Amino acid sequence: MQTIQTNKRILVSNVLFATDFAKSSKAALPYAIALARQYGAKVFIAHAIALEPNLSVPLDPPPANADPSRLDAERHLADLARAASVGNVAHEELLARGDVSNVLLDIAQKENVDLIVTATRAKHGLTKLVLGSNAEKIYRQAKCPVLTIGPHVPPLETTDWRIKHILFPTDGSEASRAALPYALSLAEENQATLILLQLMPLIPPALLEGYETSIRESLRALVPAEANCWCSPEFVVRFEFPAEGILRLAAERGVDLIVMGVKKSSSGSAISTHLPWAIASQVVAEAECPVLTVRG
């Protein structure tokens, strides 16, 4: 089993903010700016111009000054860049024509992006994300973490995002634990309470107490001893369905950020059948705080 280094400091130099200019997408911009400001990072504000649906054969693209869709996108990007939330944060607007997920993933690779920030207006499941069916490809294929601002997340009044409570749910798998260094680093940066949660299936009542104690100790072993100097770790074990349990605890504790690992699908299909992926999609769609997913 690969050992995951849990006490490394996460650095963010380049943030990719993906936008389709919808209201929900604009509401996610202050979160991207807040993190960029915290880390001294540059923000790439990016939009993918849709391919013309009626063109069955590739044609030479029109000149930039004669392409209405590009000119319209340029105006929208300029409006975003002038937003008060952007302020003096280093930023650059990027446009490209093509498949949304391919465009964004290409930008992420070319610009050495450390974090992708996007939004969803979907209230039920990943297939209705604001970026459409391409959004799952971003989650599954992006080499960097993806921060998603869901439809129930309140807007930031300022770009001072105070992260005081972080929830890290895990099923004990290596894929889920891949997100732990990010949870720990963010907890350190913000002097936040870090809640480690493991949700287990129902078992006979006679076994509950000993089993719960064992799992809690396993969670405790994930956190380096020095973490107590810069965050307040808590260890919670519950016996309920994963997505519902994560959302319930996050609401109970007023969590500011959920950090969770997801598996990369081994198939090329548009919809992943991995259980951890289904859990992540439900959490992203229904959480009342941003969700940071890290591909394991």
Of all helices (H) and strands (E), which one includes residue 80? helix 68-81
Nearest-angstrom CA–CA distance, 23 and 4: 38
Residue 136's alpha-carbon distances to 106, 139, 230, 278, 285, in angstroms, are 15, 5, 34, 11, 13
Return d(Cα 137, Cα 103) in angstroms, integer: 11
Tens digits of per-residue pLDDT, 118-150? 888 665 544 444 444 455 677 778 899 999 998
pLDDT tens digits for range 223-279: 988 877 777 799 999 888 899 999 999 999 999 999 999 876 554 444 443 445 578
The residue among 244, 115, 289, 257 whose CA lies nearest residue 193 is 257
Distance of CA 231 to CAs 38, 62, 96, 146, 189, Å? 18, 54, 42, 23, 9
- What class, spelled out in words, does domain 12-155 have in CATH? alpha beta
Q: Which of 40-54, 141-155, 191-205 has the highest mean pLDDT?
A: 141-155
Record: fold of 162-296: Rossmann fold (3.40.50)
Domain ranges of the chain: 12-155, 162-296
Locate 283 and state its tokens.
């959490």
- Distance of alpha carbon 220 from alpha carbon 168, whole angstroms: 13
**162-296 matches 12-155 in CATH topology:** yes
- Which pTM does this prediction carry? 0.86
Beta carbons within 8 Å of 75's beta carbon, 6+ residues apart = none
Helix axes of 242-253 and 275-286: crossing angle, nearest 10 degrees: 30
Give the integer Cα–Cα distance in Å for 89 and 87: 6
Residue with tokens 């769609």: 285
